[in-house]
Structure 1
Amino acid sequence: MKLTISMDLLEKMFYYVSPVKPVSTVPLIYATFLVDKDQLAYTTENEAKFARKIERSFKAAFHEVIEKNRAYGEMLDQDTLLSPQEHANQQGKLIDSIIVALQQYPELKLIRLELAGSWPLFQTEAGRLDLTE
C-alpha cells in the first residue's frame, strides 16, 4: 500500500493526506511511502496512518529535516528576497536532506517526493507578499 504525508516546514507539522493530496497556498512537500500492512494503523475516521513505532521513526527524521533547514524555513516564512539560483540551491539541499534523513530508517520506504503549493522561484521587491492586503 502507498501512504502519502504532507510536510509543512513553516508550521513544522506533517499530515497524512492519502489518497487525496490537497491543493495548498503554502510550500508543502509530499512524501509517498510503500507501507506493509503491519506498518499501518487507522484513525477513528478509518484513515490510514503509520503504526506508532513507524511514526516515531518518521517524526525523528522530520525533526532532523526541520533543524537542518531552519535557515531556509525562516527565509520562506519571512518572504526573504533570494535569487532564483539561491532558491534552487536551497530547495535542492532540502530535498537531499529529506532523502538522507529518511534513509536512516529502513522501515520508511520512500518512493516519491514532490514539492507542492507555493514555492518561490523568482521574486522582486514588488512581488513580496503583503499580508495586510
Structure 2
Amino acid sequence: MKLTLSLDLLEQAFYYVSPMKPVSTVPLIYVTFLAEKEQVAYTTDNEAKFARKIERSFKAAFREIIQKNQEYREILDQDKLLPLEEHLAKQAQLIHAVRTELQKYPELNLIRIDVAGSWPVFQTEAGTLDLTE
C-alpha cells in the first residue's frame, strides 16, 4: 500500500494525504512510502496511517529535517529576498535532507518526493509581501 504524507515546514507539522494530494498556497513536500500491511493502521474514519512504531520513526526523521533546515524554514516564513541561485540551492539541500533523513530508517520505504504549493524561486523587492496593508 502507498501512503503519502504532506510535510509543512512552516507549521512544523505533517498530515496524511493519501490518496489525494490537496492544492496548497504554502510550500509543501509530499513524501510517498510503500508500506506493508502490518505497517498500516486505520483511524476511526477508516483512513490509512502508519502504525504507531513506524510513525515514531517518521516523527524522529521529521524532527531532524526541521532542525537541520531551520535557517531555510525561517527564510521561507519571513519571505526574505534571496538570489535565484540561492533559493534553488537551498531547495535542493532541503530535498536532499528529506531523502537522507528518511532513508536512515529502513522501515520507511520512501518511493517518491514531490514539492507542491508556493515555493519562492525569484523575487524582487517589489514582490515582497507587505502584511501591513
TM-score range, shorter chain: over 0.9
Q: Equivalents in 1 of 2:24, 2:130: separation in Å?
A: 18
Aligned residues: 133
Compute the displacement of 1:130 (Å).
Answer: 2.3
For residues 85 and 124 of structure 1, what CA distance do their matches in structure 2 show? 14
| 1:70-85 aligned within 5 A | 70-85=70-85
Q: Which amino acid is 2:55 matched to?
A: E
Gaps of 5+ in 1: none
Q: Are residue 122 (structure 1) and residue 99 (structure 2) matched?
A: no
Provide runs of 4+ in structure 1 moved above 6 Å. none
**Whole-Å Cα distance in 1 between the matches of residues 16 and 97 of structure 2?**
20
| Superposition deviation, residue 129 in structure 1 | 1.5
Counterpart in the other structure of 1:111: 111
* TM-score, structure 1 as length reference: 0.98
Give the aligned partner of residue 8 of structure 1. Answer: 8
Q: Over residues 67-88 of structure 1, what are the superposed CA-to-partner deviations in whole Å (9 max), with x where a residue is unaligned?
A: 0000000000000000110011
Residue in 2 aligned with 1:87?
Answer: 87
User: What does the per-residue CA deviation read over 1:77-103, in whole Å, with 9 as the maximum and x for residues that have no partner?
Assistant: 000000110011000110111111011
Amino acid at match of 1:28: L
Where structure 2 has 5 or more consecutive residues not aligned to the other structure, the ranges are none
CA apart distance, 1:33: 0.3
1:69 corresponding residue in structure 2: 69
Q: Helix, strand or coil: the match of 1:80?
A: coil
Counterpart position of 2:50: 50
- Paired with 2:42 and 2:82, the residues of 1 have a C-alpha distance of 42
CA RMSD for the aligned pairs?
0.7
Q: Which amino acid letter does the alignment assign opposite residue 27 of structure 2? A: P
TM-score (norm 2): 0.98
Distance of 1:131 and 1:105 partners within structure 2: 40
How many Å separate the matches in 2 of 1:130 and 1:13?
25
Q: CA deviation at 1:131?
A: 2.7
